[in-house]
Amino acid sequence: MAEQAKKVAENIPGRFYVDETCIDCELCRETAPANFTLKTGKGKRYSYVNRQPAGPAEIAACTAAMDECPVEAIGNDG
């Protein structure tokens, strides 16, 4: 389960977030491309929430990404 204390700094404030355990598998960016994007630099690649979901379809996509994340790096503060 993602940990609030380990959120990556790039996350936009709101209910969904990615923590530092992200392994850049790309699943969240494929599942909810409007809400997750890639951060690169200093030899590290990871996803983060660049836009909180707007509407039921985007909430469902973000929830699916969270449920399918292989390392449980996506959290939901509700």
Residue-wise pLDDT tens digits, 3-59: 999 999 999 999 999 999 999 999 999 999 999 999 998 888 999 999 999 999 999
Q: What pLDDT, on a 0 to 100 scale, did the predictor assign at position 78? A: 81
Assigned fold of 4-76 = Alpha-Beta Plaits (3.30.70)
* Tokens representing residue 45 in the block: 């690649």
**CB burial of residue 34 (10 Å; 0-12, 13-18, 19+):** middle
